[in-house]
Amino acid sequence: MQVFKLCLKILKKNLPLMLMYISIFVVVSIIMTFATANEQQKENPFSQAKSNIAFISEENSPLIDGLKQELGKIANFVELPGKTDALQDALYFRVVTYILRIPEGFTESFMKGEDVQVEKTVVPNSYSNTYIDLTIDKYLNIARLYVQQMGDISQESLVRHLKRDLFNGASVELRTTANDSRNNIYLNYYYNYFPYALLYVLILGMAELMLVFNDSDLKKRNACSPLSSKNMNMQFMLANVMFTFVSWLIMVAFCFVLNFKSSFNMNTVYFIINSFVFAISGASMSFLIGNLVKSRGAIAAVSNVVTLGLSFISGVFVPQEFLGSFVLKIASFTPTYWFVRANNMIAGLTQFDFASMEHVLSGMLVQVCFALAFFAVAMVIAKKKRLS
Amino acid sequence: MFAHIFMYRLKCLLRDRETIFWTLIFPLLLAVFFNMAFSNLNNGETFKAIDIAVVDNEQYQEDQYFRSALNEVSQGYDRLFNLVVVSKDKAEQLLNDNLIAGYIVVETPLKLVVNKSGMNQSIIKNFLDNYIQTVSAVNSILTVNPSRQQELFNDLGNRRQYVKEVPGTKAEPNNVLLYFYTLIAMACFYGGFFGMREITDTQPNISPLAARINTAPVHKLKLFVYSMSASLLIHIVEMLVMLMFLRFAIRIDFGTKTGYVLLTTIVGSIAGNTFGAFISAIVKKSENIKVGILICVSMAGSFLAGMMYQNMKYIVAQKIPILSYLNPINLLTDAFYCLYYYDGFLRYTVNIGILLIFVIAFCLGIYFIIRRRKYASL
């Protein structure tokens, strides 16, 4: 087992560097997992976490009070000084995400049926803001119905009517228990970040091994050793497989350490299977890259570009639903895309029969195909190199 | 002497493809990736009609108002829903297969069945709530005023937008910009690769090249400063190329204060270079470890400044405000954003001021570490 031991030695020599990268990537993954999952929680309409808004009214009327009460159901009010730069700062540091200003004379014009608007200043693209917009629009649109159809209605009775109307709502039946789906969000995010760290480490380690073994002098020396080349290759492969397996295991173990009490369900099992399938395709991609690079500097360059590139276009950092269809088309030629896609599906699974698993399994199958393709290409290149 | 050292240093650095890759090509590639990933965040193309089902029961057939309301939003190019009308069992199955976001059961009150909560589910719920509340309003109007039925129904169609957006400053708020600003800040700090090389190539105990250079009868500090200025020149030119690429190829908006944007970039570049030199001087380990530390520190800084996840910047600003002032990459990002976003210069000046303090600290550090070194043997 000389070759195998040599591989371990090489890996061990590179351990401090790899550990440094692994730890920073794992920390980043974990922080991102929790931060984005928490954000997701906030945006969860059925849990109704409140967003912070500033309500600045230049007048007082029952209509406005009613609106404020209605908004109070979905938002916390933060008192802010009315000066412009204080408001700019508040938005800039996200003390509030929404500043609502009711202009003077709004109620009077509104009650006359004139076309008036309230003003908002917002942090862009904040999802919770949409709810505030919708709530205001809903309140005022229904109020408008009353004003137009019952022209002489007083503000007080208008607000009473509105209050009663807006009390109604559809009932929602959430099929899985809330805790389960919450847990799945964490797992989903953690495993979505998986390719980022894992690919990086795999490329780094395997390319390093290949670099040593592809050195032509060393190759010549090895060729005259009494070991058969089959034996040597087997040992080399074994080392690579073990390296992949251990890296994968460490990453999966982290997930249990962080979230151990709620990791025991079927979804977790499939997350793990999927990540294992990805580890295989990642390993064979790294094997291909290892066959192509020629210097240590190039390893760092390629591993950074490949991991970050794949992560950005296939939905690791930016969720797939936010990516353009063109980008997703390109991404579908990478295993990461299929991995993330399968993850997102697994997170939504509540039943595990074949019919509901079909898309998940096909996603895994595509990854395996990628693994085979990468491996085949790598073999062809290796053969060509050997002959030249 | 200056011209000689400077010219040869310039040639030497320009032939170092690896450093050029990290300081120029890598940030440009990242900019392209960012552009691919974020191009959709700021335009409305992201919305896709939601797949839903409604259970085909008696109440649904009887409730013509609900049916027409639902059909109205399920038709046309910018429809809200892709609607299918199916039996209860079929709806249940579609939901389990994740082919629909949820299904609606018409009863009192309307019921929405989902298997997870998310954006699509809440849009459906909002639609239903809105319908129920409007119906409730219509009913109470009709009990008082039954004659106005026709006008009322006509009126229902013209919903109004009651919220008008007023920008907080002259600049249009734009979240995606911040990602690109952190990218510039990161690229500035990747200039540390140059600074690192300067130390490696002028300290005799680190490389043979430096040992040779040091035998020349040139003042060591001058030698270092001259070759460092070659590094700075290359990096500043690279950064300008990057700014041009962002401005004209990717069309990133930097606001109107172009001169200040350039100034910020140059200060950032100096900070990055001196930072790299400082790390290289203080860490007496192998080249690999130095590069590793440089990359890790700048990546961690970029992460905290919001390069991978934007809200990180705000989380840091709210929870550990001191950290946002101690993170030079955040200072630089913030400086760019201030130029774009604020009308005044106060925050910008604070950011650049602290950054300059960092630069001075790095320079002093380098000076005290590498001065007056003597070698008995090399």
The pLDDT value recorded for residue A285 is 94
Instruction: Mention every residue, 6+ apart, whose C-beta is less than 8 A from residue A379.
Output: none
The tens digit of pLDDT for each residue in A275-319 reads: 999 999 999 999 999 988 888 888 888 888 998 899 888 888 778
A48, A235 contact by CB (below 8 A) = no
Give the residue with greater pLDDT, A111 vs B158. Answer: A111
Q: Chain B partners of A131 at a C-beta cutoff of 8 Å? A: 122, 126
Contact between B244 and B211 under an 8 Å Cβ cutoff? The reply is no
How high is the pLDDT of residue A79? 81
Q: State the pLDDT at residue A37.
A: 67
Mean pLDDT of A266-279: 90
**A31 to chain B: which residues are within 8 Å by CB?**
303, 309, 312
Better-predicted residue by pLDDT, A18 or A241: A241
pLDDT class of A259 with cuts at 50, 70, 90: low
Size of interface A-B (CB pairs under 8 A): 257
CA angle A128, A129, A130 (to 5 degrees): 90
Shortest Cα distance from A277 to chain B (angstroms)? Answer: 22
- CA-nearest of B346, B324, B185 to B265 is B185
Q: How far is B339 from chain A (nearest CA, A)?
A: 13
Which phi-psi region, left, alpha or beta, contains residue B12 (left: φ > 0; alpha: ψ -120 to 50)? alpha
In 3D space, the residue among B143, B241, B153, B245 whose CA is nearest the CA of residue B191 turns out to be B241
User: From start to end of A149-236, where are the E strands?
Assistant: 171-174
Say which residues have a Cβ less than 8 Å from residue B365's Cβ, sequence separation at least 6: B278, B281, B282
DSSP for residue B163 = E
How buried is B325 (Cβ within 10 angstroms: 0-12 exposed, 13-18 middle, 19+ buried)?
A: middle
Rounded CA separation A369/A378 (Å): 14
Q: What residues of A are in contact with residue B37 (Cβ under 8 Å)?
A: 312-313, 317-318, 323, 327
Determine, for residues A149 and B112 on separate chains, whether the beta-carbon distance falls below 8 Å.
Answer: no
| Radius of gyration over every alpha carbon of chain B, rounded to an integer in angstroms | 31
Chain B residues touching A17 at Cβ < 8 A: 288-289, 292
* Minimal CA separation from B325 to chain A, in Å: 14
Nearest-Cα distance to chain B for A221, in Å, is: 28
* A174/B122 touch (CB, cutoff 8 Å), yes or no: no
- Look at strands B111-114 and B102-105 and give their pairing: antiparallel
Report CA-CA distances (Å) from B361 to B152, B278, B291, B321, B357: 72, 9, 21, 21, 6
Q: Which residue has the higher pLDDT, B278 or B71?
A: B278
Q: Please indicate whether, in this complex, the C-beta atoms of A175 and B113 are within 8 angstroms of each other.
A: yes
Q: Which of A299, A291, A209 is nearest to A247 (CA)?
A: A209
Q: Is the pLDDT of residue A181 over 70?
A: no
| pLDDT-based confidence at residue A42 (cuts at 50, 70, 90) | low
Sign of the dihedral defined by the CA atoms of residues B128, B134, B140, B145, in that order: negative
Give the mean pLDDT of B60-89. Answer: 84
A172/B169 touch (CB, cutoff 8 Å), yes or no: no
Comparing alpha-carbon positions, the chain B residue that sits nearest to A297 is: B18
Residue A292 or A84, more confident: A292
Residue B27 vs residue A387, higher pLDDT: B27
Kindly tell me if the per-residue pLDDT of A179 is higher than 60: no
Stronger pLDDT, B329 or B311, i.e. the higher one? B329
3-state secondary structure of A169: coil
ipTM summary value: 0.76
Q: Do B141 and A150 count as a contact with CB atoms less than 8 A apart?
A: yes
Burial, A383: exposed, middle or buried (Cβ in 10 Å; 0-12, 13-18, 19+)?
A: exposed
A313 interaction partners in chain B (CB closer than 8 Å):
33, 36-37
Order across the sheet with B50-55: list the strands: A171-174, B111-114, B102-105, B50-55, B81-86
Contact check, Cβ <8 Å, B312/A35: yes
Cβ A324 vs Cβ B45: under 8 Å = yes
The string of pLDDT tens digits covering residues B282-320 is: 988 777 788 888 888 888 898 888 887 777 888 888 788
Within 8 A by CB and 6+ apart from A256, the residues are A263
Whether the pTM exceeds 0.95: the reply is: no
Tens digit of each residue's pLDDT (9 = 90 or more) over A100-142: 888 888 888 888 878 888 888 887 666 667 778 888 888 888 8
Tell me which chain B residue has its CA closest to the CA of residue A19: B292
Calculate mean pLDDT across residues A211-231.
86
Q: Which residues pair with B82 in a beta bridge?
A: B51
d(CA B347, CA B337): 10
Best mutation site among B38, B136, B163 for testing chain A: the one with the most A CBs within 10 Å? B163
Residues of B in contact with A88 (CB under 8 A): 168-169, 341-342
Question: Rounded to the nearest 10 degrees, what angle do helices B287-304 and B258-282 cross at?
Answer: 140
Interface test with B, best of A26, A91, A92 (most B CBs within 10 A): A92
Query: Of the given ranges (A87-96, A156-165, A172-181, B112-121), which has the lowest mean pLDDT?
Result: A172-181
Buried (b) or exposed (e) across B190-206, using 16+ Cβ within 10 A?
Answer: bbbbbbbbbbbbbbbeb
Chain-chain contact of A16 with B289 (C-beta, under 8 angstroms) = yes
Confidence of residue B44 (pLDDT cuts 50, 70, 90): very low
> In this complex, do B155 and A148 lie within 8 Å of one another by their Cβ atoms?
yes
Q: Do B137 and A165 touch (CB under 8 A)?
A: yes
Q: How far apart are CA A270 and CA B310, in angstroms?
A: 30
Exposed/middle/buried for residue A47 (C-beta within 10 Å: 0-12, 13-18, 19+): exposed
Question: What is the pLDDT averaged over residues A252-262?
Answer: 73
- Across the interface, of B155, B296, B311, the residue whose CB is closest to A145 is B155
